[in-house]
Amino acid sequence: MALDKHTEAAGNDTRESSVEQKLVALYALQHIDSRIDKIKIVRGELPLEVQDLEDEIAGLETRVEKYNQETQEFEQVINEKKNTIKESKSLIKKYEEQQMNVRNNREYDSLSKELEFQSLEIQLCEKRIKEYTAKLDAIKSQIDNSEGVLKDRIEDLTSKKNELNSIIEETQREEEVLHQESLISQDDIDARLLVAYQRIRKNSKNGLAVVPVERGACGGCFSKIPPQVALDIAMHKKIIVCEFCGRILVDAEIKERIV
């Protein structure tokens, strides 16, 4: 079937290129764009893998930084508890000396309560130190694990970047030339037809919008082309698309002019 009424009308305008010239221009553009696609396929998933690794590394670095902050906080609390124990021991010694010189039971009982309080304070601080030390050890273990993973990911990232950069260096110049050729080829195609080409190409998994008829079948979806339709394609009188996949069809003659 024909691409659409507007495109067919544009093809009938004597001021514009003939349908045959448009088909040649379209297939030439497709040939160039397919070569660009192949370059991108060579790169594969590397750009995405690099981005994923960079994101993971950033997350790991943030996690390690957080762990380090928690480590400092726990170490500070442990030191505070140790200082409290020192102060309590100093007070205990002081109160014991004062007990030796009390003048009555009231003073003795008061000092005894202070001694008991400071002893309990020491026990509580020792308990907290034990708890915080266990948490600190767990955090340090997490830091070691995270830093180990981080090191591996950084090595992976370096390897992936080197691989990607090597591929880019090999293909960048060719891709730039092809992009320029693609832009030049687009200038030879009227706006409506170019929009249709880009739409079909975008909706095709392999990026093919213009395909040749091969062995009586569509070169895109491999559906059989009716003999009358194949004859119309060979006549180059109108732009015809596959009724199954919607790709623009050209015959072997058009293909041979470009390939």
What is the per-residue DSSP string for 172-185? HHHHHHHHHHHHHH
Give Rg (Cα) of the chain: 40
In the numeric block, which tokens belong to residue 88?
A: 């309590």
Amino acid in the structure at residue 104: N
DSSP conformational letter for 246: -
Q: Give 233-250 pLDDT, tens digit per residue.
A: 999 999 999 999 999 999
pLDDT value at position 166? 87
Helix (H, G, I), strand (E, B) or coil at 214: strand
Residue 16 scores a pLDDT above 60: no
Residue 6 scores a pLDDT above 60: no
Instruction: Determine the average pLDDT of the residues in 187-205.
Output: 92
pLDDT bracket for residue 157 (50, 70, 90)? very high
Q: Give 58-107 pLDDT, tens digit per residue.
A: 999 999 999 999 999 999 999 999 999 999 999 999 999 999 888 899 99
* Separation CA 213–CA 113 (nearest Å): 102
Q: Give 200-225 pLDDT, tens digit per residue.
A: 999 998 999 999 999 999 999 999 99
CA proximity to 185, closest of 171, 198, 203, 200: 198
Q: Give 23-37 pLDDT, tens digit per residue.
A: 999 999 999 999 999
Beta bridge partners, 2, equal 240
CA proximity to 177, closest of 35, 28, 47, 46: 35
User: Is residue 218 a contact partner of residue 225, using CB atoms and an 8 Å limit?
Assistant: yes
* Separation CA 44–CA 41 (nearest Å): 5
DSSP readout, 84-111? HHHHHHHHHHHHHHHHTT-SSHHHHHHH
In the numeric block, which tokens belong to residue 109?
A: 């009982």
Task: Report the mean per-residue pLDDT for the chain.
Answer: 90
Q: Tell me the whole-structure pTM to 2 decimals.
A: 0.55
